[in-house]
Amino acid sequence: MQGRSDIPLNETGREQAREVGRELAASGRHWDALVSSPLQRARETAELIGEQIGLTLSGTYEDLVERSFGDAEGYDCTGKSDEQRHAFMEEHGETTEDVIRRGIAVLQRIVADHPDQDVMVVAHGTIIRLTVDRIRGTKLHSLANGEVLDVTAAEVCAASASEPRP
């Protein structure tokens, strides 16, 4: 459980970021701004992607950091079921609802800070998955490193941090 531990990106992660950047560049899409979590692994990922799509990092948002696992940071969950891992995370770290509230609030802040812009946001798997699940009313699988999800400003602005969508 890495959580908020500021672990550097390794060479595999760097290559994954470059590959995502190449794929995004080849897609022909345009972004006006690039922001990330301040944790070094996310910042470096954003910078590597930015090199491929022609953007520099516009800034970081503290609330994009990964879920805090509290005293369980660094704990190895190998062999635990999904239910056991979830219960362990809820007991030792930031609750799912707190992550969702933080995730929606920071996305709403990013939308407000970048009106009428397409913003690429680079963050961490758990905060992305939980936040997008609430915004869309879905249940996403675990995200692969470098997986890209599109969320519109309208979806973000309509989201409620306190109520799941039907």
Name the nearest CA neighbour of 131 among 49, 35, 123.
123
d(CA 34, CA 32): 7
**20 domain-assigned:** yes
- CATH code of 113's domain: 3.40.50.1240
Provide the annotated binding site for substrate. 41, 101-102
What residue numbers does the annotated binding site cover? 41, 101-102
- Non-local (6+) Cβ contacts of 156 within 8 A are 104, 107, 108, 110, 111, 135
Confirm whether 145 is domain-assigned: yes
Give domain status of residue 77, yes or no: yes
pTM: 0.85
Domain-located, residue 66: yes
Task: Give the pLDDT of residue 80.
Answer: 76
In a domain, 49, yes or no: yes
Give the per-residue pLDDT at 73: 66
Query: What total number of domains does the chain contain?
Result: 1
| Predicted local distance difference test score (pLDDT) of residue 134 | 95
Establish if 93 belongs to a structural domain.
yes
At 75 the pLDDT is: 63
Domain membership flag for residue 144? yes
pLDDT tens profile 105-144: 999 999 999 999 999 999 999 899 999 999 999 887 788 8
Residue 5 forms part of a structural domain: no
Q: What pLDDT is attached to residue 51?
A: 97
Q: Which domain holds residue 69?
A: 11-158
Show the low-confidence residues of the chain (pLDDT under 50): 1, 166
How far lies 103's CA from each of 51, 126, 127, in Å? 26, 10, 6
Hey, what are 43's tokens? 């910042």
Distances (CA, A) of 46 to 57, 60, 74, 129, 144: 7, 10, 24, 18, 16
Q: What is the pLDDT of residue 166?
A: 46
The pLDDT score that the predictor gives to residue 72 is 63
pLDDT in the model for residue 2? 57
